[in-house]
Amino acid sequence: MATKLWEKSTQVNAKIEAFTVGRDREMDVFLAKYDVLGSMAHIRMLESVGLLEATELEALLTELKSIYKIADSGQFSIEEGVEDVHSQVEMLLTRKLGDMGKKIHSGRSRNDQVLVDLKLFARAEIEKTVTAVTDLFDVLISQSNRYKEVLLPGYTHLQVAMPSSFGLWFGAYAESLADDLQLLLSAWKITNRNPLGSAAGYGSSFPLNRQMTTELLGFDTMNYNVVYAQMGRGKMERTVANALAGVAATVAKLAFDACMFTSQNFGFIRLPDEFTTGSSIMPHKKNPDVFELTRAKCNKLQSLPQQIMMITNNLPSGYFRDLQIIKEVFVPAFAELTDCLEMTAMMMAQVEVNTEILTDSRYDYLFSVEEVNRLTLTGTPFRDAYKQVGLEIEAGNFKPNKVVNHTHQGSIGNLFNNEICAYKDEVLDQFTFKKVRTAEMKLIE
C-alpha cells in the first residue's frame, strides 16, 4: 500500500481511508494533465527563487512532460492505495528521480494544488462549452434566416395569441445563447485567476514568485489575497455552474418547444425518421426522445448551482474536506451539457419546417390584433377598434387578413439577426482562449 503524503507513524483505518478518499481517484483522473501543468509552472518558479537547481528542474520537467503525455492520451490512472492525483504524480516522479521528486511540493499544499487543477480544468471545459454554444447559435441563426418568411402561431397562456415566425423562433434561442455567453464570460474571468502560492490558505515563508506562475499558466491575474484564494474553492465552481445552468435553461426550453411542435396536434416541425425512436406496441410512433432526454438532462444541470451551494453553505474561511464532494457533481457537468448542445445543434440543423401552418382556420384569431392595428392606423381610436373586432369575433363574423407587416427592430419583418450576431461576436472576443493555449503550449514544449 502506498504511503500517504501526510502519513507519519500511524496507518489510517481502512474504512476511514475508503470513506475520506471517496470518488477522488475517479474524479482526479480528469484533473491529471492540469495537475502536471501546475507542477511544471511551480517548479520553474522554485528554480527561479533558488529552491531547485537548474539540473533538477530539467530532470523534473522531462519526467513531468512524459506524465503529461500519458494523461493527455487518456492513459493516466491512480493506483490503489494512492489518495489523489497529486500523490500519484509525486510518486511517479519519486520512483524515477528519487528524493528529487519530493522537492516539487515545496511552497505548496494540496489545497492550492487542487484549486489550480480545478481552475485549469474548468477554463479548458468552458472553452469547449463556448465552442458548442457557438455552433448551436450558428445553426439557429442560419435556420432563422432560412425560414424568416414562414409564419407560425405565437402563444400566451398556451392559447393562440399573435402571429410569430420561424425566423423569430429560431432567432430568439440564438439571442438567448448570446446572453448565456455573457454569463460564461463572467465565469471565465473569475476562473482565470491564479490561486497557486496560497498553499494551505495562509501563504508560505518561502519567497514564492506568484506573478511568475500566473504568467506561466496563462492566467489573467492572480487571486491576490491568499485567504480569499482558498475561499474561492466552491465559489468558482458555483459561479461556473450558474453559467452552465443558464445555457441549460435555454436548451431545455428549446427542447420543450421542439417536443411540443413535433406532436401531431401541432405539426409545426418534423424530425427526420432516423432521428426518432419507435414504440414496442404502437407501430405509428416516432418519438422525439433526444429532445426529451435533452430537456431532462438540462433541467438536472440547472440544479447544479444549488447542489454546490448546499455543500458549501455556511462554511467559514479556510479549507474543509466538504469541498472535495463538489468535484463529483462539477466535473461531469461539462461533458453532459456539451453532449446536449451537440445533439440539439444536429437536430435543429435537420428539422423540417411546416410552411403551411396558418392555412388552418383554427389559427384565424391570430390576426385579430393585426385587424385592430389596421383600424387604428385608419383613424379609429384603439379602444374602439379593439371593441369592434371583439364583437365581430363574438358574433362569428371575423374574417382575418393574413398579411403581416411588422417592421420595427426585432420583429417578424426585421429580425435584426446581424445585430444579434455582432453582439455574440463582441462577447466571444473577450475570452482570452488564445493567450491560455499559448502559455500551456510553452510549458509542455
For the chain, what is the total number of helices (H) and then of strands (E)? 17, 6
pLDDT-above-90 percentage for the chain = 85
How confident is the model at residue 209, as a pLDDT? 98
- Residue 400: the pLDDT is 92
How high is the pLDDT of residue 314?
Answer: 87
Determine the Cα–Cα distance for residues 199 and 180; give it in Å rounded to an integer: 34
362 in Cβ contact with 153 (< 8 Å): no
Superfamily of domain 14-106: Fumarase/aspartase (N-terminal domain) (1.10.275.10)
Sign of the CA dihedral running 102, 223, 35, 68: negative
Reported as a pLDDT band with limits 50, 70 and 90, residue 445 is: confident
Taking residues 360-368, what's their average pLDDT? 93
> C-alpha angle with apex 271: 144 to 296, nearest 5 degrees?
90
Mean pLDDT of the chain: 93
Give the pLDDT score at 9. 54
pLDDT exceeds cutoff 90 at 136: yes
* CATH homologous superfamily, domain 111-155+163-358+415-432: Fumarase/aspartase (Central domain) (1.20.200.10)
Measured CA to CA, the distance from residue 4 to residue 438 in angstroms comes to: 35
* Residue 415 pLDDT level (bands cut at 50, 70, 90): very high
Kind of pairing between the strands at 352-353 and 269-270: antiparallel
Q: What is the pLDDT of residue 429?
A: 98
Confidence band of 7 (pLDDT split at 50, 70, 90): low
| 338-355: pLDDT as tens digits | 999 999 999 999 999 999
Percent of the chain with pLDDT over 70: 97
pTM, 2 dp = 0.92
Render 130-181 in DSSP notation, one character per residue.
HHHHHHHHHHHHHHHHHTTT-EEEEEETTEEEEEEEHHHHHHHHHHHHHHHH
> Which neighbouring-strand residues pair with 269?
353
pLDDT for 345: 97
What three-state secondary structure class fits 117?
Answer: helix
pLDDT of residue 4: 56
Classify 436 as helix, strand or coil. Answer: helix
Spell out the domain ranges in the chain.
14-106, 111-155+163-358+415-432, 361-395
Grid coordinates representing 195? Answer: 490561486
pLDDT of 3 above 60: no
Each residue of 276-325: pLDDT tens digit? Answer: 777 678 878 788 889 999 999 999 999 999 999 999 998 899 888 888 89
> Residue 205's pLDDT is what?
96
Average pLDDT, integer, range 66-82: 93
HEC string of 355-384 equals CCHHHCHHHHHHHHHHHHHHHHHCCCCHHH
Distance CA 439, CA 423 (A): 28
Which one has a higher pLDDT value, 107 or 275? Answer: 107
Express each pLDDT in 242-289 by its tens digit.
999 999 999 999 999 999 999 999 999 998 888 777 767 887 878 888
Length of the chain in residues, anyone?
445
pLDDT at 322: 86
Cα separation of 51 and 61, whole Å?
15
pLDDT band at 1 (very low <50, low <70, confident <90, very high): very low
Q: Which residues contact 315 (CB under 8 A, 6 or more apart)?
A: 234, 322, 323
